[in-house]
Structure formats: C-alpha cells, structure tokens
C-alpha cells in the first residue's frame, strides 16, 4: 500500500471526524439516538440484542441508549408473545417526527458541502466509497 496515500487518508479521516461532529449535533437527537431510531424506522421493530449486533455494541450500552429513547417517548416496547422477558422496540410518532427533523437538518448541512463544486458523478462515487469503507468494518 502506498504510504503517502495511507497518510493522506488517515489525516483526512481525522479532519472529517472532527467536522462531522458538528453535523451530528444538529437537531434534538445525539448520534446514538439518531442511528438507533433510523435503524428501527427503516427495518421495523427490533430487540436490544439485534440492535447491539447491528452496531457492534454491548447489549448493556444499547439497553441504556434505548431506555433513554423510551423515556423520551421516541420508542415503545412490544412484548414477545413467546418469552415474557423479551421485547422489541418500535418507533413512536414522536420519535419518527424527531428523526425526520434531525435527518432533514443533517441532509441540508451535508448538501451545502456537496455544492456545485461536486458533479453528480462525484457525489455518487463519494457515497459508494463511503459505503464500501463503512462495510469494511463489519467484515
């Protein structure tokens, strides 16, 4: 691997992480709440274990995060009919509203960065490469 290319990628990722932090603070949802609500919204009700597996986190971490979402009224529990101790979480109307508002604010902020200096092809390629890079962490 080209050492200069690797150093450029490392530095640019560090800068990107720093700058993206400001985007993640938009809206009323923090990063973990946003990702959990987005997962439930897009894929349907899910249990804490499934969410922990999806994000490669400890069950206790996701349990705390989902408890906070439940306390705010963003999700509610659906009891598992076969196991009285188990449940899935479903997004509420309030949660969907907060998710949508946060998503729109984040998209607006990102769109400003991907202005006319970026061709549609570059935007598509950037999305593809980010997806490919993110998936490399799962394998």
User: What does the pLDDT read at residue 66?
Assistant: 97
The burial class, CB within 10 Å (0-12 / 13-18 / 19+), for 91 is buried
**For 12-56, how does the pLDDT look when each residue is reduced to its tens digit (9 = 90+)?**
999 988 888 777 667 778 889 999 999 999 999 999 999 999 999
Rounded CA-CA distance 85/83 in Å is 5
User: Residues in the chain, how many?
Assistant: 139
Tokens of 84: 């009285």
The torsion angles phi and psi of 75, rounded to 5 degrees, stand at -140, 160
Rounded CA-CA distance 47/50 in Å is 5
Give percent of the chain above pLDDT 70.
97
**For 125-138, how does the pLDDT look when each residue is reduced to its tens digit (9 = 90+)?**
999 999 999 888 87
Confidence tier at 75 by pLDDT (50, 70, 90) = very high
């Amino acid at each position: 691997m080209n050492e200069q290319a690797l150093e450029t990628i490392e530095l640019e990722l560090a800068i990107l992480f720093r700058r993206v932090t400001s985007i993640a603070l938009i809206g009323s949802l923090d990063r973990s709440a946003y990702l959990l609500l987005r997962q439930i919204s897009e894929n349907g009700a899910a249990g804490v274990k499934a969410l922990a597996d999806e994000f490669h986190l400890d069950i206790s971490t996701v349990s705390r995060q989902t408890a906070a979402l439940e306390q705010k009224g963003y999700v509610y529990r659906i009891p598992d009919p076969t196991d009285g101790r188990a449940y899935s979480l479903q997004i509420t109307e309030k949660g969907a509203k907060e998710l949508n508002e946060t998503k729109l604010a984040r998209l607006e902020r990102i769109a400003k960065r991907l202005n006319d200096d970026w061709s549609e092809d570059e935007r598509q390629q950037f999305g593809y490469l980010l997806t490919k890079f993110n998936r490399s962490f799962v394998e």
